[in-house]
Amino acid sequence: MAKALKAVGSLSAFWFILPCLFTLTFTSVYPVSFGLIVSMTNWNWGNQFDFIGFENYLGLLSDSEFWTVIGNTITFSVSATAIEIALGFYLAVQVDKLKVSTELIRAVLMMPLMVSGIVVALMSKVMFDPFLGIINHLMRVFGMGPSAFYGAAKTAMPSIVAVDVWWQTAFVFVIMLAGLRGLPNDPLEAARVEGASEFVIFWKISFPMLQPLLLTVVIIRTIDTLKVFDIV
């Protein structure tokens, strides 16, 4: 009897997760599998195609533009992630030190995170416009000539990195501030009683306890920057 009830319970659990499995299969498993199979053929949206193995991949690896794209992607990901982590962590530490209410400060710092990617892309396009953009207008005011930020090789990457930093630093700030606020107070108070400075307390106690959380944030931001599309 107990085995029968256990089997019924397992079957009930299966029916509960079936919609999720169905959705996951048709939105992730099937497209990825289909794309992998098609990538090994010479199919060109026609009815006829032949299996060619890894020929498409070999052609891709021999294309110089492919490696240029890979290099640009890595440069963007490393630069944006490093700046966002450093700036977001710094802001979290400074806000955590404040003795006054920080709700307004947190709300202001989190505002960019509430803007969708396509809106950020359109805003940055207007701001960096060489003729109508406010940044170029300020440059003219200070006697500097206009610059096509997105159109010049030297300024395109820094401009995109700057936009992503403005947009996503708030994510790092929110997570790290929550981590700082969640640290146990006893070790910190004990260190203060022993006469340790705030810098020593942070570096020797707070930072080591935050390292797992910091590593998680680094991984999340690295993945996000590698697949970013909206603002590029």
Give the tens place of pLDDT for each residue, 2-36. 555 455 556 777 788 888 888 988 888 899 998 89
What's the rounded Cα separation, in Å, for the pair 57 and 62? Answer: 9
The string of pLDDT tens digits covering residues 126-165 is 888 888 888 888 888 888 777 888 888 888 899 999 999 9
Domains, the chain, with CATH or none: 2-58 (no CATH), 64-226 (1.10.3720.10)
pLDDT at 2: 54
pLDDT at 147: 80
Q: How many CB atoms lie within 10 A of CB 128?
A: 23
Question: pTM for the full model?
Answer: 0.81
pLDDT at residue 102 above 90? Answer: no
pLDDT at 14: 77
What's the rounded Cα separation, in Å, for the pair 124 and 150? Answer: 10
- Of all helices (H) and strands (E), which one includes residue 114? none
pLDDT at residue 75 above 60? Answer: yes
Rg (alpha carbons) of the chain, rounded to whole number: 25
pLDDT at 81: 97
